[in-house]
Chains A and B, each alone.
Chain A
Amino acid sequence: MSPPAGRLQGGYSVVVEDLSRSFGDFCAVDRISFQVKDGEIFGFLGANGAGKTTTIRMLCGLILPTSGRGLVEGLDIGKEAEEIRKIIGYMSQKFSLYEDLTVSENLEFFGGLYGLSHAQVTRKVKESATAADLEAFSGRRTREIPLGLKQRLALTCAVMHNPHVLFLDEPTAGVDPISRRDFWALIHELASGGTTVFVTTHYMDEAEYCNRLAVMHKGRIAASGSPKSLKNRYQKGSIEEMFIGLVGRERTADDD
């Protein structure tokens, strides 16, 4: 089962138009618009509280937008959330597998939620790039395994059903550089298999791994494009400098 080409919307997996979300008076996401192409790795960059998680949760159908529109694989996030759930994978910012279950029990449970049988889960795990690690720890309680492996386990759980679009909310927060590199190898493998990956991050070096980026700041998209074009546009040598330049500039503008 391979993800179909972006139906209905000319090669775009995710299309967002003027999407907003307020909590009371506070506008966490403020009329943002962007597109994610089919099969690309799309990075969402932003400081704490920029509105990244809120955007992802709207796209996954966990919260409703206050206004604006969003399509995931041509399905409306406001009206067709139930359909969307079948074709997306989601890894939330907070580690949310069951710590008292073993590695293989977690895999079975999340596979089961998508209607996969025991045999299907086993095959899927065997095929996965982390098969060796997961195998070695399969009988261990999830709370006992290293954080890097926990995150790879969470990723495996999230892609068990071959989702078309994968949403990853700061998947590598808090792990060592080696684990991060391993994790990104997995992301690339998924993308080359045709999965669209939407990933948020704090790490600027990770931004370089993305096909395209959007920089979010205070609920708005401050800039977007490929890492190269962004660096060119802002005349910076790295994404980090560009990011600081962008966010810093807005800050001075605010102070005026």
Chain B
Amino acid sequence: MMISGRLLAVMRKEFIHIIRDPRSLVLIFLWPVIMVLLYGTAITFDIKEIRIGVLDFDHSRVSRELLRDLTASDYFRISGYLDKRSEIDDGFLKGRFTAVLVIPAGFEKQKALNTGRIQLIVDGSNSNTATVVIQYFKSFCMLHQWESGVAVSAPLSLHPRVWYNPDLKSAHFIVPGLIAVILMMICAQLTSITLAREWETGTFEQILVSPVLPHEIILGKLAPYLLLSLSVSVVTLAFSVAVFKVPFRGSLLLLLVLSIVYIYASLSIGVLISTRARTQQVALLASQILTLLPSFLLSGFIFPVLYMPLVLKAVTYLVPARYYLVIIRGIMLKGVGPGDLAQPCLLLVLFGTFLIAFSIHRFKTVLEKAPWAG
């Protein structure tokens, strides 16, 4: 696609809009930092002192060792001992425990033969907590080389999942995910609002009687916001590493390049919205509906995609945050290289390009056929 003078004119104008509104600019940079701070700390506090009930059928030296290890960590606290399995439900109902650790009879002997297994039964009524508890318990077992099996009580069935987070710090895991969620929301809102504002003020009509082409309007508007969102992501990233000491094991350059791709895909959601939305309010609402819940719930941020029902799993493919989550967690926590991230990157490019092409097509139809109100 050629870079025309018209495209440059639109880009330049959009840049001016952005810098002319310093109050919004400050908000755009501040909001993600505040979100990371709030959610990052809230979730970190949550996971301390998980209340564990103990059902020890073995009463051996090894089982006492296990319990000592457990209490030695900051993350678990033994808040009661049970005698029978039938007491577990009652304990959950009364909220005395978040999880119950079952040590079977003969554990010590089996442990000597390397077949000793313990079981953790987790209260699944708060699935978030349950997920966190499972992660922590698994990490704990790995650390102390205890074999375990995990079960979750009704009403929710959850499957265990191992987070790549050996330090038992959930903030490390949560914060990169938060960045993904926040970026997607900001990007969609910014673009959808800037286009809707032009419908509102009537300037869109003034532009449409000029020879400017739909793709020039859209790409001209995207470019400045791509840059803006990239700066936001850099600031948020730096803040997260500084405050939460989130490790950064991979390549910063790779993360930045892939962030551009992710921002591109997220901005395209806003463009799509603006083909419909004629007021800023509608645009804001639509972008919140389309990004907030999906990026939280259907991206793997809170619930692992792997264990979602098939239908939901299929929907996650339409949520850009899903791909970026793999990218940012991979690069920051695991130091993954470009080879492993080619697939999510490619899918993000496809996603963005498809939405933008579709939106340009829609704008053309608006110009050629469909009359609009106002």
Measuring CB to CB, which residues of chain A are less than 8 angstroms from any residue of chain B? 60-64, 81-82, 85-86, 88, 90, 92, 94-101, 105, 108-117
When distances are taken between beta carbons in the complex, the residues of chain B under 8 Å from A86 are 211
What would be 7 A-B contacts, judged by CB atoms less than 8 Å apart? A61-B209, A63-B371, A64-B369, A90-B209, A98-B203, A101-B16, A109-B9
A110 to B208, CA, bound (A): 11
Identity of the chain B residue whose Cβ is nearest the Cβ of A78 in the assembled complex: B368
Of residues B10, B206, B368, which shows the largest number of chain A Cβ atoms within 10 Å of its Cβ?
B206
Chain B residues numbered 334-371 whose CB sits less than 8 Å from any CB in chain A? 367-369, 371
Q: B16 touching A60 by the CB < 8 A rule?
A: no
Q: Known: A96-B201, A96-B206, A112-B5. Is A82-B16 also a contact (CB below 8 A)?
A: no
**Chain B interface secondary structure, helix, strand, loop or mixed?**
helix
Partner of A90, one of B5, B17, B203, B206: B206
Which of these, B16, B205, B211, B367, contacts A114 with CB under 8 Å?
B211
Near A by CB (< 8 A), chain B positions 200-229 give 201-203, 205-212
Please state if A112 and B209 are interface contacts (CB–CB under 8 Å). no
**How distant is the Cα of A239 from the Cα of B13 in the complex, in angstroms?**
43
Instruction: Tell whether, in the assembled complex, residue B211 and residue A85 are in contact, meaning their CB atoms are under 8 Å apart.
Output: yes
For B203, list chain A residues within 8 Å (CB).
Answer: 96-98
Which residues on the A side are within 8 Å of B23 (C-beta)? none
A99 to B5 alpha-carbon distance, docked (Å): 22
Contacts of B207 in A (CB 8 A): 113
Hey, which bits of chain B sit against chain A, CB under 8 A? 4-6, 8-10, 12-13, 16-17, 20-21, 201-203, 205-212, 367-369, 371-372
How far apart sit A112 and B3, CA to CA, in the bound complex (Å)? Answer: 13
Assembly CA distance A158 to B208 (angstroms): 12
- Chain B residue contacts of A98, Cβ below 8 A: 13, 17, 203
A195 vs B5: C-alpha distance in the bound complex, in angstroms? 25
A94 touches B202 (CB 8 A): yes
Q: Which of B16, B17, B201, B209 has the most CB of A within 10 A?
A: B209
B4 proximity list for chain A (CB < 8 A): 115
| Chain A facing B: main interface SS | loop
Residues from chain A with Cβ under 8 Å of B20 in the complex: 100-101
A125: min CB distance to chain B, Å: 15
Residue numbers in B under 8 Å from A60 (CB-CB) = 209
CA distance A110 to B211 in the complex (A): 11
Docked-complex contact A112 and B9, CB < 8 angstroms: yes
Query: A100-B20, A100-B21, A101-B20 known; A113 and B202 CB under 8 Å?
Result: no
Q: Is B367's CB under 8 angstroms from A81's CB?
A: yes
Check B210 against A113 for contact (C-beta < 8 Å). Answer: yes
User: Are B13 and A114 interface neighbours, CB within 8 A?
Assistant: no
Q: Which residue of A lies closest to B370 (CB)?
A: A64
Residue of B nearest to A109 (CB): B13
**B12 CB contact (under 8 Å) in A85, A95, A109:** A109
Kindly list chain A residues whose C-beta atoms are within 8 Å of the C-beta of B367: 61, 81
Compute how far the CA of A99 lies from the CA of B208 in the bound complex, rounded to whole angstroms. 18
User: CB distance B12 to A112 under 8 Å?
Assistant: yes
A85–B202 touching, CB < 8 Å: no
Contacts A96-B205, A100-B20; A64 near B9 (Cβ below 8 A)? no
In the complex, the answer to whether A112 meets B8 with C-beta atoms within 8 Å is yes
Further pairs besides A82-B211, A95-B202, A101-B16: 6, Cβ < 8 Å? A85-B211, A96-B202, A98-B13, A99-B201, A105-B13, A113-B211
B157 to chain A: closest CB distance in Å?
53
* A95 and chain B: residue at smallest CB distance: B202
Residue ID in chain A nearest B20 by CB atoms? A100
Contact partner of B206 (CB less than 8 A), chosen from A97, A100, A111, is A97
Contact A114 B210 (CB under 8 A): yes
Chain A residues with Cβ below 8 Å from B201 are 94, 96, 99
A105 touches B16 (CB 8 A): yes
Chain A residue contacts of B368, Cβ below 8 A: 81
Interface pair B209/A115, CB less than 8 Å apart: no
B-chain residues with CB within 8 Å of residue A109 when the two chains form the complex = 9-10, 12-13
| A88 & B211 in contact (Cβ 8 Å cutoff) | no
Q: Which residue of B lies closest to A110 (CB)?
A: B210
Q: Output the least CB separation between A43 and chain B (Å).
A: 20
CB distance from A154 to the nearest CB of B (A): 9
Task: Give B369's nearest chain A residue, CB to CB.
Answer: A64
Given A112-B8, A113-B6, A115-B6, A85-B17 contact (CB < 8 Å): no
